[in-house]
């Protein structure tokens, strides 16, 4: 009897260990890659959603979440969250949109983002049977014992979609030999709907810089430079259909820096978007043609012996932007020329690329360049050395450019679930 006891006991022990291992085996965790093209609080996301693994490598994730936003007419943002399923969820793709109101605080904004991010992840967690830590409520909010009627009843806007903004801002800085101050004020009103875009804005500013220079024998000289500017603008854009728009803008400008005592502008044009405008969060490709007339009055006589003149011009503009899982591309080109003499023109291009090449390798670059052949407003009298050094006057330049680039490579652990804000 004893010779059978050891095998039977061993078999029971093996079965117990096997059962214990099966019971203790953790449920598969969803692997998520957050691809945020706006101001996401990633630490907050990780702390509020801790039943998934956040990956640093998009190719290792089960779900790639692409987050971007666009400004709304009320001054808020329309967020778009695209959930791309990968691996076992390869054919699952979903898109969620929500509005973040302009008067929401950063706290309220991130709470909204977390809410819709959680909603978008639910179908994937359900497929993994990882629903033990999920609770869903589908009851309308109640106040004073009454159900919130806004769920089913449209709200009438008492402002008729008009948004007003005003601001006053400035700065003062300096040291023993240098002082600088700036004061600016702005007022604007806008009304934006899907059919019409209308706005008025006023901006004004004053800048003052003072320098104290000392020569080799100890004589001190104080140099003070002042610049002021203001502009008034009004624009209107009308939607024709899903691809076409037409509009105009008017303006009045003044700038001591650019020798413009008074400039009046009227510009009108038409724009075509290859893609429907409703896809603006993901892709758009626009072309526009504009025609303008401006009346310029100058502080000083220009290089072409003008104190005032009327100029007629036209322009071409194009903008392309594409947001996808592998990154984003944005390319723009613009041209403006004067009709009385085609050699006076401005031609510019810019491009921004943020590409994830593979795994943890990514490349980004922003570049812009401009040919300037239209500085008709420059004063005839050349700038003094003092004006050049203090940037008191705009200088003649046939071109300008700017480039920023970087390449990044990450390797090691693909998991990124921990939050440690110490000494941040």
The token duo for 212 is 């104290």
pLDDT score recorded for residue 166: 94
Q: How far apart are CA 249 and CA 146, in angstroms?
A: 48
Contact 48, 121 (CB under 8 A): no
Q: How far apart are CA 1 and CA 182, in angstroms?
A: 100
H-run or E-run covering 416: none
Q: Mean pLDDT score of the chain, rounded to an integer?
A: 82
What average pLDDT does range 248-277 have in this prediction?
Answer: 93
The candidate with the shortest Cα–Cα distance to 248, out of 270, 272, 273, is 270
Q: How far apart are CA 2 and CA 105, in angstroms?
A: 76
Name the more confident of 380 and 354.
354
Portion of the chain with pLDDT greater than 90, in percent: 35
Tokens 């024709």 belong to which residue? 240
Using the predicted structure, report yes or no on whether residue 167 has a pLDDT greater than 90: yes
The token duo for 372 is 């300037």
The candidate with the shortest Cα–Cα distance to 264, out of 291, 233, 306, 302, is 233
> For residues 150-185, b (16+ Cβ closer than 10 Å) or e, as one string?
eeeeeeeeeeeeebeeeeeeeeeeeeeeebeeeebe
Which domains, ranges and CATH numbers included, belong to the chain? 31-127 (2.60.40), 162-409 (2.40.160)
Using the predicted structure, report yes or no on whether residue 251 has a pLDDT greater than 90: yes
Q: How far apart are CA 97 and CA 105, in angstroms?
A: 19
Query: Residue 7 — very low, low, confident or very high, per pLDDT cuts 50/70/90?
Result: low
Q: How far apart are CA 293 and CA 117, in angstroms?
A: 49
Q: pLDDT tens, 125-159?
A: 888 877 777 777 776 665 554 444 444 455 677 88
Of the ranges 39-43, 173-177, 187-191, 205-209, which one carries the lowest mean pLDDT score? Answer: 39-43
Q: pLDDT tens, 320-360?
A: 988 777 778 999 999 999 999 899 999 999 999 888 777 66
How many helices and strands in the chain, by DSSP H and E?
4, 19
H-run or E-run covering 19: helix 2-24
Contact 230, 207 (CB under 8 A): no
Name the more confident of 347 and 409.
347
pTM value is: 0.66
The candidate with the shortest Cα–Cα distance to 282, out of 309, 248, 322, is 322
Query: Residue 37 — very low, low, confident or very high, per pLDDT cuts 50/70/90?
Result: confident
Burial class (CB in 10 A: 0-12, 13-18, 19+), 138: exposed
């Amino acid at each position: 009897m004893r010779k059978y006891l050891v095998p039977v006991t061993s078999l029971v022990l093996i079965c117990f260990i096997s059962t214990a291992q099966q019971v203790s085996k953790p449920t598969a965790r969803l692997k998520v890659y957050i691809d945020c093209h706006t101001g996401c609080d990633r630490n907050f996301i990780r702390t509020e959603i801790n039943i998934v693994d956040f990956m640093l490598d998009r190719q290792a994730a089960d779900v790639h979440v692409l987050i971007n936003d666009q400004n709304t007419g009320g001054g808020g943002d329309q967020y778009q969250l695209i959930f791309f399923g990968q691996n076992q969820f390869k054919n699952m793709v979903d898109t969620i949109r929500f509005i973040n109101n302009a008067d929401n605080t950063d706290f309220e904004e991130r709470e909204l983002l977390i809410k819709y991010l959680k909603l978008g992840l639910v179908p994937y967690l359900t497929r993994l049977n990882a629903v033990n830590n999920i609770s869903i409520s589908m009851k309308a909010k109640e106040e004073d014992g009454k159900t919130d009627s806004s769920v089913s009843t449209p709200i009438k806007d008492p402002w008729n979609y008009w948004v007003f903004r005003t601001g006053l801002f400035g700065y003062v800085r300096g040291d023993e030999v240098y002082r600088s101050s700036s004061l600016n004020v702005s007022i604007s009103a806008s009304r934006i709907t899907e059919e019409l875009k209308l706005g008025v804005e006023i901006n004004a500013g004053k800048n003052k810089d003072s320098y104290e220079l000392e020569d080799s024998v100890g004589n001190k000289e104080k140099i003070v430079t002042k610049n002021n500017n203001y502009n008034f603008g009004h624009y209107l854009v009308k939607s024709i259909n899903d691809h076409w728009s037409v509009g105009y803008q008017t303006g009045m400008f003044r700038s001591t820096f650019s020798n413009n005592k008074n400039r009046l502008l009227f510009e009108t044009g038409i724009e075509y978007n290859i893609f429907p405008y409703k896809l603006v969060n993901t892709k758009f490709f626009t072309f526009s043609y504009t025609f303008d007339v401006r009346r310029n009055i100058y502080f000083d006589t220009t290089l072409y012996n003008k104190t005032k003149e009327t100029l007629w011009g036209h322009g071409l503009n194009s903008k392309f932007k594409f947001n996808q899982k592998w990154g984003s591309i944005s390319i723009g080109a613009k041209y403006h020329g004067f009709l009385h003499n085609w050699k006076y023109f401005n031609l510019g291009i810019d491009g921004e690329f943020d590409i994830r090449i593979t795994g943890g390798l990514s490349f980004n670059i922003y570049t812009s360049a401009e040919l300037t052949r239209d500085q008709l407003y420059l004063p005839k009298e050349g700038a003094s050395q003092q004006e050049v050094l203090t940037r008191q006057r705009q200088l003649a330049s046939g071109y300008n450019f700017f480039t920023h680039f970087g390449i990044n490579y990450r390797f090691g652990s693909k998991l990124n679930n921990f939050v440690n804000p110490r000494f941040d």
